[in-house]
Structures are given as structure tokens and as C-alpha cells.
Amino acid sequence: MAQQRVPTTPTTNHENRAFWEAADEQQFMIGHCRACNEPHFYPRALCPFCFSDETELRQASGEGHIYAVSVMRRAPVPYALAYVTLAEGPVMMTNIVNCDFDALAIGQAVEVTFQASEDGTKVPVFQPV
């Protein structure tokens, strides 16, 4: 496997810290609203659909498929930026890792994995199943 880009370590705040702390423990969470029962991404204090403050983090399956992908070739270490449609519904921005960039395709099944960022904190990324 060629060298892989190291994700930037997120600077967190009170609202999003729980998501990143869970990720560091290799748990992949998404936002969920108890009022309208809809999942959302990114997780936040107010539901973007019904504006309730009854939101919480729920562990997601970590399964999904590629919605869109662009391999950044002109970078010190090329990397695949992607949107992944999660099995739960929401689409999120991520990287596809541990793969042959030239073989990536929209619709391809992927699963969550965790990659150490610059300071070692793990962040969720995806790899082909």
C-alpha cells in the first residue's frame, strides 16, 4: 500500500466533541432526532428537519456506498475525497482509503474504518468492502 494522506486533526467544540471522542474510540456515530425520528449528518444540537433540540448521537452501521468521488492527484500525497451514502440514509463527506484509487466507482460498497489524524486522534474514513 502506497503512503496515505494523514487526515487533519479536527479542532472540536462543546457541540461536536462527543462525535469525535466516539470516533477516537472507533465508534462511528450519526445524528438522530427523537422528535421526528430522522437521522441527520453532520450531528448537531438542533434537528435540521424539525428544529427540535431533542437530538442525540446514535451508533451507525458503518455501511454505505460511494455517492461521488474525486481523487486529488495534485497533492503531496494523493487522496480520494468522497461522499458516502450511509445505510441509515444521510450522505457524508469522507476519504476512501486502503484502495486502488483508479478502481473506485460511484455505487461501490464501502465500510467505515478509522485512521489516525495528525495528532493520533482517530477519525472515521471508509474503505471498499
Q: Could you list the residues that contact other proteins (CB under 8 A)?
A: 5, 7-13, 15-16, 30-31, 38-42, 44, 47-49, 67-75, 79, 81-83, 86, 89-95, 106-107, 117, 123, 125
10 Å Cβ neighbour count for 40?
Answer: 19
Of residues 82 and 110, the one with the C-beta less far from other proteins: 82
Residue 29, number of CB atoms within 10 A of its CB: 19
Residue 73 binding target from other proteins, Zn ion, none, CB below 5 to 8 Å by type: other proteins
The span from the first CA to the last CA of the chain, in angstroms, equals 16
Contact positions toward Zn ion, by CB under 5 A?
A: 33, 35-36, 47, 49-50, 52
In the complex with Zn ion, the residue whose CB is nearer, 89 or 118, is: 89
